[in-house]
Amino acid sequence: MGAHISTDVADGRAFQQLVNGKHADALSGERIDVLCPSDGKAFASIPASGEADVGLAVGAARHAFEAGPWPAMPAFERGRLLTRLSRLVEENATELAALESRDTGKPLRQGRADVTAAIRYYEFYGGAGDKIHGQTIPFLEGYTALTLREPHGVVAGIIPWNYPLQILARVAGAALAMGNTLVVKPAEDASLTTIRIAELALEAGIPAGVFNVVTGYGATAGAALSGHPGVDYVTFTGSPATGTAIQQAAARNNRGVTMELGGKSPQIVFADADLDRALPVLVNAVIQNGGQTCSAGSRVLIERPVYDRVANALAERFSKLVAGPHEADLDLGALISAKQRHRVAAMVADAEAAGIPVLSRGSVSNDAPSGGYYFAPVLFGDVPPDAPIAQEEIFGPVLSLFPFEGEEEAVRLANSTDYGLVAGIWTLDGARQHRVAKRVRAGQVFVNAYGAGGGVELPFGGFRRSGHGREKGFEALYDMSATKTIVFNHG
Ligand code: NAI
Ligand code: MG
């Protein structure tokens, strides 16, 4: 590839974390190379922090919570600072999108879409924090009882690599709006925009120590943060296995957690569906971000009379999908890492070896650098409902099709995994829309639409292995605070 000025952003930069409003290296001096998935080459570095660094950051957040102005500040003033942050994100949109794309390999337009969503999160929570009210409760004669919503204190946010800008924004927006202070540990594979947002938060006037960032590996920095006794609440998005480890660490201190652990989300296509509307959405729901999306629509259930028609149309669309470098802005970019590419390739190879038919494959663009982590999209048909690719999150551009007969079987198949994050229902029958939407186990259900990415105001979260707690919208403000009941005896 030639020179790409706009995406040479951050070349050679030694990024620092942000603790107590100051840039810092890891105490050990150790660093992690930042790789661009499009060519597999290192272009910058971040600190590799450990337990002692985490201790300093938690101490700073604790001090900012106990002694600083933040939790005592009127909610509308905190809101104004978050609104200012949203404006600064907007002013720096070009740089942030380029940085996110280079760090994660995602096409530039997806980087831009992520910035747009981040702006909306800070704007939404900037306006929402002063609209959460307590209650007065009728109680015994001679008493008045009321409730307050209080911040937890120090919130630890452990962020994954797939949508760092967006996931950080939904965590930080809600946590800060309610008066908590924060220590964020971004993923070692994609930390750069988190560092930049913390810098912009300082520039916006959010006081030092309120928004701290510690970079490093999950097993060291992440584990130290989730088990730190100075942390009051932990919020995590990522894999179920890491979610278990984080909950166990938090349980040692009996701290509350919010867990968003991905899904195996179904889209149900009934024979009466408007297929012209459905088809592009079915493809995008699993191709966006290379399939590395917690809410990816990775299973499509198709009513028998239209199964062949839908399968053929999807196969044709899949054959035209092309993966390539982020700056080429094709259908999808590289996957995040060699490890993730290997994981996806192994699951696909196992499914092929088990005899599950491949209906179609996309391709990797000819000029994609050979060191990049590209994986061509794959469409599987007639997938057995108990196959690993039907049950496990793949987190790659892989779609599985399943035929069904009638509403009962559709609901049974939709609910046949241990996950329950998002579902899509495609039918023009209004009564069926309501029936199926109620019976599908998922935190979000879309009817004749699909997509959790937008909609910062829509509560989001899972059932069962997809996790617990709710993020986004007003609901997140309840997760990020606790009810205090006060009773007055004036009888
Ligand atoms: P992961 O869940 O291990 O990583 C996510 C975050 O957790 C990173 O910041 C990481 O540093 C941190 N972490 C890792 N181990 C930790 C520990 N012991 N204590 C505290 N923090 C820790 O995900 P990974 O290994 O990168 O990806 C594997 C699979 O996880 C993917 O194939 C995908 O299925 C799933 N995943 C789901 C995501 C979602 O949005 N639901 C996001 C990322 C991964
Ligand atoms: Mg990277």
As assigned by CATH, the class of the 266-455 domain is alpha beta
Question: How many C-beta neighbours within 10 Å does residue 3 have?
Answer: 6
Alpha helices in 395-460 (DSSP H): 406-414, 430-439
For residue 136, pLDDT over 90 is answered with yes
To the query of whether residue 352 is one of the catalytic residues in this protein, the response is no
Span 161-186, average pLDDT = 98
In the block, residue with structure tokens 């109680």: 139
d(CA 93, CA 196): 11
- Phi/psi at 254 (5° precision): 50, 45
Helix, strand or coil, per DSSP, at residue 412: helix
Q: How far is CA 196 from CA 89, 263, 457, in A?
A: 9, 29, 24
User: Is any atom of ligand 1 closer than 6 Å to the C-beta of 162?
Assistant: yes
Other C-beta atoms lying within 10 Å of the C-beta of residue 137: 12
Please give the Cα distance from 476 to 470 (Å, whole number): 6
The stretch 130-153 carries a mean pLDDT of 97
Model confidence pTM above 0.85: yes
The helix/strand/coil state of 80 is helix
- Ligand 2 centroid–CA 35 distance in Å is 4
- Residue 367 CA: distances (Å) to CA of 60, 284, 331, 342, 387: 47, 23, 15, 21, 35
304-347 pLDDT tens trace: 999 999 999 999 999 999 999 999 999 999 999 999 999 999 99
262 lines ligand 1 (CB under 6 A): yes
- β strands within 270-393, DSSP E: 299-303, 322-323, 358-361, 363-364, 378-380
- pLDDT average, residue stretch 10-23: 96
* Cβ of residue 235 lying under 6 Å from some atom of ligand 1: no
> Helix, strand, coil proportions of the chain in percent (round to 5)?
40, 20, 35
Strand 358-361 to 378-380 pairing: antiparallel
Q: Does any ligand 1 atom lie closer than 6 A to the CB of residue 263? A: no
- Distance between the two ends of the chain, CA-based, in angstroms? 80
CA distances from 443 to 352, 413, 447, 484 (A): 32, 17, 13, 27
* Rounded distance from Cα 160 to ligand 1 centre (Å): 6
Mean pLDDT of 211-233: 98
pLDDT value of position 8 = 81
161 beta partners: none
Question: pLDDT (tens digit, 9 = 90+) per residue, 376-429?
Answer: 999 999 999 999 999 999 999 999 999 999 999 999 999 999 999 999 999 999
Is residue 454 pLDDT above 80, yes or no? no
Chain centre to alpha carbon of residue 294? 6
The CATH superfamily of 13-261 is: Aldehyde Dehydrogenase; Chain A, domain 1 (3.40.605.10)
> What pLDDT is attached to residue 452?
55
Same CATH fold assignment for domains 13-261 and 266-455: no
Q: Delimit the domains of the chain by residue range.
A: 13-261, 266-455
Q: Calculate mean pLDDT across residues 21-36.
A: 98
Helix H or strand E segment including 314: helix 304-319
Q: 3: pLDDT confidence band, cut at 50, 70 and 90?
A: very low
Which pair of tokens denotes residue 77? 């003033």
User: What pLDDT score does 1 carry?
Assistant: 36
Ligand 1: residue whose CA is nearest its atom 41: 262
Q: Interior CA angle at 338 toward 337 and 339, to 5°? A: 85
234-288: pLDDT as tens digits: 999 999 999 999 999 999 999 999 999 999 999 999 999 999 999 999 999 999 9
E strand or H helix that includes residue 78: helix 75-91
- Length, in residues, of the chain: 491
What is the structure's pLDDT at 4? Answer: 44
Quick check: 143 pLDDT over 50? Answer: yes
With a cut of 80, say whether residue 140 has pLDDT above it: yes
